[in-house]
Amino acid sequence: MSDKGSLEKRSAADRFLDSLLDALDERRIARQRDLPASVSPVGRDAPTPSDQTESDKPERTTARPARTSPPQKSPTDAVPVAEGTAMPPRQPSMGLDRSLARLMAAVVALAVIVNIPLNRHGVSLARMLPDSASLIIRDGLVLKGSGAEIYMLDDNKLRWISSLDAFENLGLEWKDVHVVEDQFLDQFELGRAIHLVLKCNGSPHIYALENGKKRWIKDIETFTAQGYVWDDVRIVDCFYLRNLPDGLPIPENAGPAPQP
């Protein structure tokens, strides 16, 4: 009875082992069919799955790849560099912006200096520079040399403007004066001077206006001797002429000056 039971148990164990071996052989054959052509099938000498121990079998892991953020590109990654090639050193700045700023400051400073009035008449350096080569010779051109005299060109002759009052009466300004070389003035003849002589309709007296003061001219002979002509006479209001301060008469020993 015990022998029969042992035989049945042995037969069941054999059947189980045979089924297990058959299953392993089928799996091995299926794996060999799935292998690429470059991988040779397991030879006779290669150990079969049934011959491998539990420690020899590779562990099957299904690890999921970790997510990684894309690498940040640096400014140097924009330009491909061959392997083994060193990046060229950064060149120092040429300071172009600073040079342009200094140049503009120098131009502005020069323009200011050239246009600053250098004398009491407000004549700037720009107008004191010799510009005779660019002048157009014409009547009414106002010229000044190295001296204090100011001339107006009339009929190709230099006419001296005898006073500041005559200058202003002509409607001139200091910006109209062209400073030239004395050699430029020498090419013209001297004409009759330009004076400012005032008279009002209610009085026979004639006065020369000089430095803001009226100078009584004694008579017609003195008027002519001084080089005055009737074109120099300006008719003004008697009230205006009467309120002008008195200067020395012409001639100076003519006595007290009458009022208009």
Query: At 246, is the secondary structure helix, strand, or coil?
Result: strand
Alpha helices in the chain (DSSP H): 2-34, 96-114, 125-128, 164-169, 182-185, 220-225, 238-242
CA distances (Å), 62 to each of 39, 58, 163, 185, in order?
Answer: 23, 13, 114, 110
Across the range 139-150, mean pLDDT stands at 92
Decide: 257 and 216 in contact? Cβ < 8 Å.
Answer: yes
Summarize pLDDT for 199-251 with one digit per residue, the tens. 999 899 999 988 888 999 999 999 999 888 888 898 999 999 999 999 999 99
Residues 6+ apart with CB under 8 A from 108: none
Highest mean pLDDT among 50-54, 65-69, 130-134, 208-212: 208-212
Decide: 172 and 163 in contact? Cβ < 8 Å.
Answer: no
Measure the N-to-C terminal CA separation of the chain; round to a whole number of Å.
179
Decide: 260 and 203 in contact? Cβ < 8 Å.
Answer: yes
Domains in the chain: ranges and CATH: 125-190 (no CATH), 195-260 (3.30.2390)
pTM passes above 0.85: no
Preceding peptide of 256 cis, ω within 30°:
no
Longest dimension (CA), the chain: 186
CA distance 217 to 252: 10
CA distance 227 to 197: 11
pLDDT given for residue 35 in this prediction:
62
Q: Is 41 exposed, middle or buried (0-12, 13-18, 19+ CB in 10 A)?
A: exposed
Cα 167–Cα 172–Cα 176 angle in degrees, nearest 5 = 120
Summarize pLDDT for 31-64 with one digit per residue, the tens. 777 665 544 444 444 455 445 555 455 455 445 5
